Structure formats: structure tokens, C-alpha cells
Amino acid sequence: MNYSFSVSSYEAPALEKEIALALDARSALSMRKRGAKPTPPKAVKEASAVSRKWRKIAGITVMVLGGALLLCVTSMVQRSKLLQILGFLLLGVGLMVMRSGAPAGEAHASQKSLQKAQRLLAALRQNNFVNGLNVRFDDEKMTIATKSKNVDVPYPELHSVVETEHMWFVTYGQAGVVLQKRDLTEGAPEAFLSDIAAASGCSTERIAWTEEITEENADEAPSGAASETETTGEAL
């Protein structure tokens, strides 16, 4: 097993939220090891873009019908209360259908973890040590290599690995390393989490994210682009 990362700058806007979610997930994994069963953060399952589009169209259509009915009622000499009620009912139903086509809510990190993530990112962005930093994984250990020295972390010392959309958060002892997926230079990204879990026996968690589904690829995409959070108390 060989994975290599050539660490680049931590400027991606999504990192702050994802690091915060990873910190929450790490806390949840620690509690599970102590016998507790906290609820891990989950990304809310969201309808596809095509489904949302048709819901909006249906909602607008029903609202137009309701509005047209009310206009007809106002032009009548003797206005029908039943038709007025029906018109307002159509407007309400159309509004609810249209709002159901809006994107679902996203996972939310705790305020404490958001503050920690902000401090961590500020430190990473200010320090120059990331220049020339490389992280490697082989069959026995993780190696953090800087320009001046190498730090070997045997797999039994790994605490957890949390995967988000753009990164992996690997923790060991009281420390951790943020590995962006774009920095992976060797190894298959889809197998990284399971390979490290199998080699180290550490706890892992994958925080699901919603992939953008366009009308062109909707037929090819699996139903429900965002899967539920996948968690292992121990190795996968």
C-alpha cells in the first residue's frame, strides 16, 4: 500500500466547514470508544437537481391556476365564496410544492468546532511549513516529511480518519493532519479510507456530501446522490 500527498495551500473556502465537521466526527468516535453512542453529523439527503426543477415548475403551475381562478372570481357580478376559497387553496398548495423544490439543508457543525477550525486554518495559512511538506502512507506507518526532518507515525498510534468531500482528517495522539484530496499524487482516492482502516485498525467515518446532478447526467447518476454518513467504531 502506498499513498503520497504533496501538501499545497489551504485556501479552499469549503475547508473551514469540513474541518469543523471532521472535528465533531472525531469527538463522536472518541465517545463511542468510551461506550457512549452520540449522533454523528449527517448531511441531509437532498433531491436531485432535476427533481427540484420539476417540483418548482409544478408549484408555479398550480399557483398560476389559483391566481387565474381568483381573477375570474373578481370579474364576476356575484362572487362565489367557494371559488375564492379554491383559488386561495391552489395558491397555498402551489407555494408549498414550489418550496419543496428548494435544496435541502446541509450538515451543520457545532460552534465550538467551527471556532477550532478557524484557528487551525489561520495557523496553516500563516505558516510556511506547508511548502515542501509531503505525507506518505506505506504498509506500516504514516510519514510526515518536511524540508528539515521526517516524523514517522506507526499505524497503532492513529486515532481516527474522517473523510469529507474535499479532504481527509487524520488524527494521532493530540495532533492531526489535514490532507486535501487534490494533493493526492499516488494511490486511489476511493480506496484510501478503507486501506488505512484495514492497515491501522483505527476508527473511521465518512461524512456524506451531495454531488451536483445535472439534467444531462441524471439518468446515469444513482438515486439519492447524497448517501448517509458511514461510520465504523473500529476498522472498516
This prediction's pTM: 0.60
| Residue 42 pLDDT greater than 90, yes or no | no
pLDDT of residue 19: 93
Q: What is the pLDDT of residues 87-108, one digit of tens each?
A: 888 888 888 887 765 554 456 7
> In which band, very low, low, confident or very high, does the pLDDT at 217 lie, cut at 50, 70 and 90?
very low
What whole-number distance in Å separates Cα of residue 28 and Cα of residue 36?
9
Asked whether the beta carbons of 126 and 10 are under 8 A apart, the reply is: no
